[in-house]
Amino acid sequence: MTETTRTVSLNVPVLARVEGEGALDLSLAGGEIAQLRLRIFEPPRFFEKFLEGRHYDEIPDLVARICGICPVAYQVTAAQALERLYGVELSPWARAMRRAFYCGEWIQSHSLHIHLLAAPDFFGCGSAIELAKIAPDAVRRGLRLQGLGNALMDLFGARSVHPVGVRIGGFHAAPPAAKVRALRERLVAALPEAEALIRWAAAIPLPPDDQDFISVAMRHADRYAIEQGDIAASDGLSIGADAYDAHFAERHAPHSTALYSDYRGRPYLVGPLARLNLNPDRLPERLRALLAEIGFAPPSRNMFHSLLARAAEIWLALDEAARLLAGYRVPDSPWTPVEPRAGVATGCTEAPRGLLWHRYEMDAAGRVVNARIVPPTSQNQARIEEDLRLSLLNFGLDRPDDALRLHCEKVIRNYDPCISCATHFLRLNVARA
Amino acid sequence: MDGARKPRVAVHKFSSCDGCQLALLNLGETLLTLADRVEFVHFAEAGPMDPEAEVDVAFVEGSLSTPEDLERIRRIRARSRVLVAIGACAVAGGVQALRNAADGAAWVAQLYAHPEAIDSLAQSLPLAGAVKIDHELHGCPVDGAQMVAALGALLLGAPPRPESDKVCVECKRQGHPCVMVSRGIPCLGPVTRAGCGALCPGLGRDCYGCYGPAENANTDALAARFRALGLDAAAVARRFGAINSQAPAFLAAARKAGAA
């Protein structure tokens, strides 16, 4: 059998260095890809079902449990959706602190992904622990940034995994000014570290892998969209959260416990690179200049730029949080009182891995009638499979099995898939064949 | 353990949010120190991948919810000298055990276009539902210091010391005003195991029981107090039936409240 006609069956039963557990099946026959599937098999956890009947003030603590890495995204998205339904105007303090809190999660999650999950691939290492032996300063810098992200989440939530500070209407408590000042100094002091990280990430040689894809991300009138903004796509779409359903469709494939999402019948990208692609004009001037200096000019069609995009967003989140915490004062009340009413609450935010959308139908007593949550990883799932096909063809199917497998894993890790998230959100009332 | 080789440690995951493994991944510099002292032979999220390896200590996160899960935890048990269940999912089935009270098959049919492809047990089980557990670390999530202390104790041949206090005791120690006495907020602190550092009362809010029931938890008295504070029966049942709904003391309290 010649190289071009060989039959290869690659099976990676558990993907390393992704959040949650998924697998990859690839078979090649006659020089073509016969089958390629990202298999997500984590058992469903039925969050949408057991949210039914719960009172609105229980929701932030429950939805946090969908994901230990991005609990803030779930808490803030749910809170904002409900606040919109209940007609609550958050105080300027609470609005600013929600955004600062969310920055903490971006810093933590992106630092974890770059250093512990993605970077080892590019240095021939199997783990960050190995990478620390050849690039100790870079790994330690990454762990320090991750720790700082955690500290920012702690500031408002008392802990960084399943923080306990968010309530509908604001926060349960306001951190004392002295603590905020001390943390802000650390944020400012970390900006040069983040700059060094960007330069380090930019120096990693990347495979050229241009592909045509649609980016979907939030966009805000005057700042980089994190927790506020409309949903935009690279083809010009611009809609509010309540119109999401009219443009994006989910479907279930039997090999996956996560649902796939399509936009106009096509896969699409969400996450840091999609955000940068749609919002280069919303970056702070200093960051724009730094990216120009290193020769990175989004929009980019190469998914391997996603590691650099994460590094850029770490800088952005540090800078933004430092700005928001400048001149901090303890408010009269950290929350605004809430009066429940019946109706449908929708909301979205930019989780570290991309657009996160929630919809709750609520009764007049403030209880959930039904819930639907679309996490970023299930939106990316179809795009990951499409990318793997194109990327493998660019890479060359005649490479040895190990090289093919490593390439596939690198491609998958570009998306920072969170399989725990993806399997926890399952659409209600899917039409059955 | 022989002195020549490093102790071998595995971290396994079942149905969960990954948050308890983060207790290790969030350790920062300490993670690198730890990696010098022990060998992580299996820790998929961090990279090392050898699920069948024999280990001295296995930390297991998550609850069991498929037939394959039962098979896999038995294999892990057979290859691990000490097996430690970490977090509410592994210890009590976790938040996803809320499905245990419902018709799981009907839920699958409502959620998936291809329900036949979803292999799911009727219940979300704690690890102890299938194998013998040597130690439990409580919490949703467990905390990094708690993990390191447990691993340190185990490597010295001592059992980790379980928390036996209640959150109330921790709260008094920290000098927080009682949210239930001073503001009438229904707090689970009087029946919940200590270990978190009384984080919620520290922010002026109610404890919601994420460390699970303490020993000798007087749930009857607390349920009566909740009713006196104005909660209806269903609300009392929901207070006990949340993150640790299948922990026996909370399960019984929720049933009793719901039946009242």
pLDDT digit string (tens) for A333-391?
999 999 999 999 999 999 999 999 999 999 999 999 999 999 998 899 899 999 999 99
The structural architecture, per CATH, of the domain A47-422 is Orthogonal Bundle (1.10)
Counting the structural domains of chain B, the total is: 2
- Note whether residue B12 is domain-resident: yes
Question: Is there a single domain that holds both residue B95 and residue B51?
Answer: yes
Q: Are residues B21 and B149 in the same domain?
A: yes
Taking the Cβ of residue A378 and every Cβ of chain B, the question of whether any pair is shorter than 8 Å is answered with: no
In a domain, B162, yes or no: no
Both B67 and B194 in one domain: the answer is no
Residue B59 has pLDDT above 90, yes or no: yes
Q: Which residue of A has its CA nearest to B67?
A: A43
Domain contains B2: no
- Mean pLDDT score of chain A, rounded to an integer? 91
Mean predicted confidence (pLDDT) in A401-418: 89
**Cα-atom radius of gyration of chain B, to the nearest Å?**
20
Tell me the pLDDT of chain B averaged across its residues: 92
Q: Name the band, by pLDDT with cuts 50, 70 and 90, for residue A5.
A: low
Q: What is the CATH number of the domain that holds B66?
A: 3.40.50.700
Q: Which residues contact B255 (CB under 8 A, 6 or more apart)?
A: B237
At A417 the pLDDT is 86
**Nearest residue of B to residue A251, measured between CA atoms:** B113
Boundary of a domain, candidates B123, B155, B187? B155
Percent of chain B with pLDDT over 70: 91
What is the per-residue pLDDT across B161-215, written as a single tens digit (0 to 9) for each?
888 899 999 999 999 999 999 999 999 999 999 999 999 999 999 999 999 999 9
Pair B80, B125 in one domain: yes
Tell whether B117 and B55 lie within a shared domain: yes
Alpha-carbon gap, residue B97 to A428, rounded angstroms: 19
- Over residues B209-224, the mean pLDDT reads 97
In a domain, B1, yes or no: no
pLDDT at B3: 54
In chain A, what percentage of residues exceed pLDDT 70?
93
Burial of residue A167, with CB atoms counted within 10 A of its CB: 0-12 exposed, 13-18 middle, 19 or more buried: buried
pLDDT of A353 reads 97
> What is the DSSP code (8-state) at residue B82?
E
Residue B3 resides in a domain: no
Examine residue B100 and state whether it is found in any structural domain, yes or no: yes
| Residue of B26, B68, B124 to mutate, testing the A interface (most A Cβ within 10 Å of its Cβ) | B26
Facing residue for B203 by CB, picked from A21, A173, A254 = A173
Q: Rounded mean pLDDT of B130-143?
A: 97
> pLDDT value at position A19?
74
Is B160 a domain residue?
Answer: no
**B115 pLDDT tier (thresholds 50, 70, 90):** low
Q: What is the pLDDT, as a whole number, of residue A37?
A: 83
Are B118 and B28 within one domain? yes
Domain assignment present for B101 = yes
**Which residue from A minimizes the CA distance to B32?**
A129
Angle at A250 between CA A252 and CA B14, to 5 degrees: 55
Structure ipTM:
0.94
Domain boundary among B125, B155, B185: B155
Q: Where are the domains of chain A?
A: 3-40, 47-422
pLDDT tens digits along A124-140: 999 999 999 999 999 99
Tell me the average pLDDT across B49-65: 95
Q: Is A178 on the interface with B (CB under 8 A)?
A: no
Of A50, A112, A193, which to mutate for an interface test with B (greatest number of B Cβ within 10 Å)?
Answer: A50
Domain that includes residue B99, residue range: 8-155
Among residues B133, B155, B177, which one ends one of the domains? B155
Angle at A252 between CA A247 and CA A255, to 5 degrees: 145
The shortest C-alpha distance from A20 to chain B (Å) reads 7
- Taking the CA of residue A236 and the nearest CA in chain B, the distance in Å comes to 32
Verify that B144 and B99 share a domain, yes or no: yes
A159 neighbourhood in chain B, CB within 8 Å? 141, 143, 196, 199
A77, A356 contact by CB (below 8 A): yes
Chain A residue with the nearest C-alpha to that of B203:
A173
Domain identity same for B250 and B175:
yes
Same domain, B187 and B123: no
What is the pLDDT, as a whole number, of residue A241? 97
- Examine the domain organization and report whether B130 and B226 are in the same domain: no
Residue B4 binned pLDDT confidence (cut-offs 50, 70, 90): low
Q: Do B146 and B190 belong together in one domain?
A: no
**What CA dihedral angle connects B187, B188, B189 and B190, to 10 degrees?**
110
- Per-residue confidence (pLDDT) for residue A108, from 0 to 100: 98
